[in-house]
Amino acid sequence: MNRENLGDPRVWTAAVACLIAAAVVGRFAMPPRPPAVAAEAVAEIRYICRESGELFERPLDAASRIHPKTGKPTLVPAVYDAKRRQWKAGPPPEIMHRKGLLGPAS
């Protein structure tokens, strides 16, 4: 290709068509990106019901404070009391996170 052909509209049309084709084909040829956080990377913690004392393993999010059977917001994060060997209600998640108490359920 020489400099005389750069002014030819056919050259620019072909270049733009190649770019559009590459963009369209690239979307179908390239695999989709994985999600920012894999589902298995979301931490699950233990929650205890304030009314019944039942334990639940639920994802650490705002929606997990609803009791799955009653539908009431009675679940609070649970901490294990090693001295009494039982689970008890813990502080709010923000405080637990600051203190390093939040970890995956095991």
Q: Take residue 5 and report the two structure tokens written for it.
A: 């052909």
Residue 53 lies in a domain: yes
Same structural domain for residues 44 and 95?
yes
Say how far apart CA 44 and CA 85 lie, in whole Å: 21
Mean pLDDT by 10 residues, the chain (106 residues): 70 90 81 64 80 86 77 87 88 75 57
Nearest to 102 by CA among 52, 62, 53, 46: 46
Residue 105 lies in a domain: no
Instruction: For the full predicted model, state whether its pTM sits above 0.95.
Output: no
Same structural domain for residues 29 and 43?
no
Residue 104 lies in a domain: no
Same structural domain for residues 25 and 47?
no
Report the pLDDT value the prediction gives residue 20, as an integer from 0 to 100.
92
Domain holding 27, by residue range, is 1-33
Residue 52 lies in a domain: yes
Determine contact, residues 54/89, Cβ cutoff 8 Å: no
Same structural domain for residues 62 and 82?
yes
